[in-house]
Amino acid sequence: MPDSSLPNQIADLLQETAQAHHQAYIETDGFDPEWPLWYAKYLQEKLGRLLNHPLTQSEIVYHIIRLDKAYTSKAQRITWSDFYAKEIILEFSTSHY
């Protein structure tokens, strides 16, 4: 049975990551053209633990870029972190890794 709190845990982790990134890049007001790389490094261990699956930073970068494009391509009715969490869970619950 899937953990019903998992979407919230992942969304919270993504929000934590965004805040940590902004703090790391405070001098540029959070601007970082390579932000997916930073996010991947920050998320790798924690997200892998939540999903119960080891992830490479490359996998995370791929998904973050894909999700960012999907989220920004049309008006979403949910927050970016909730959208990402839902999609990440769908990807990893249906993939054969």
Summarised one tens digit per residue, pLDDT across range 24-73 is 998 888 789 999 999 999 999 999 999 999 999 999 999 999 999 999 99
Q: Note the pLDDT of residue 75.
A: 81
Give the residue-averaged pLDDT of 70-80. Answer: 92
CB 81 within 8 Å of CB 14: yes
CB 21 within 8 Å of CB 42: yes
Q: Note the pLDDT of residue 97.
A: 44
Q: How many domains does the chain fold into?
A: 1
Tokens describing residue 7 = 């979407």
Q: Is the pLDDT of residue 2 over 70?
A: no
Residue 1 lies in a domain: no
Question: What residue numbers bound the domain in which 37 lies?
Answer: 6-94
Residue 62 lies in a domain: yes
| Higher-pLDDT residue of 88, 31 | 88
Side chain identity at residue 29, one-letter code: D
Q: Note the pLDDT of residue 43.
A: 98
